[in-house]
Amino acid sequence: MLTDLTYREALITDIPQIQYVRHAVKENTLSNPELVKDSDVEDYITRRGKGWVAIVNNTIVGFAIVSTADNNVWALFILPEFENKGIGKTLHNIMMDWYFSQTQETIWLSTGTGTRAETFYRLKGWEDAGAYGTEEIKFIMTYQKWLLLMK
């Protein structure tokens, strides 16, 4: 049980820790860590959408970022040692509730095939929308389905 776990909106000052979490994951790793620059994270959490962080002992252990500009989940990552503790589910729900409070547009995401993330999104009710590139799968969630899932 994580008694000191808190969640809040992501701040620009969180970007170094967000990047640390992003690069520490074991699945859906970036082939080139330079592909996601600090300026990209800032753009997504301040202009394109919003982000949230999960904090334990003043350290970010997970984060989620959604884009209303692109109608997609841009990122949802948890440090490996904090997986399977409900942090991802909570960040997911915070992010999705906020997204659908801003728009009723269908949202999408992509993730690696055969990953724990694929299983996670299937369990959260996301609909398989087919292949995305050569090694990823695309999922969608409608506003109506999210409302049903939250009942």
Instruction: Return left, alpha or beta for 125; rule: phi > 0 is left, psi -120 to 50 is alpha, else beta.
Output: left
Q: Give 33's pLDDT tier (boundaries 50, 70, 90).
A: low
129-151 residue pLDDT tens: 999 988 899 999 999 999 999 88
Residues 6+ apart with CB under 8 A from 105: 71, 143
SS3 79: coil
Q: Which pair of structure tokens corresponds to residue 71?
A: 């109608």
83-135 residue pLDDT tens: 999 999 999 999 999 999 999 999 999 998 999 899 999 999 999 999 998 88
Which pLDDT belongs to residue 58? 93
The distance of Cα 93 from the centroid of its chain, to the nearest Å, equals: 10
Q: What is the pTM of this model?
A: 0.93
Q: Give 32's pLDDT tier (boundaries 50, 70, 90).
A: low
Range 4-7, long-range pairs (CB < 8 A, 24+ positions): 4/56, 4/57, 5/54, 5/55, 5/56, 5/87, 6/54, 6/55, 7/52, 7/53, 7/54, 7/55, 7/90, 7/91, 7/94
Q: Give 28's pLDDT tier (boundaries 50, 70, 90).
A: low
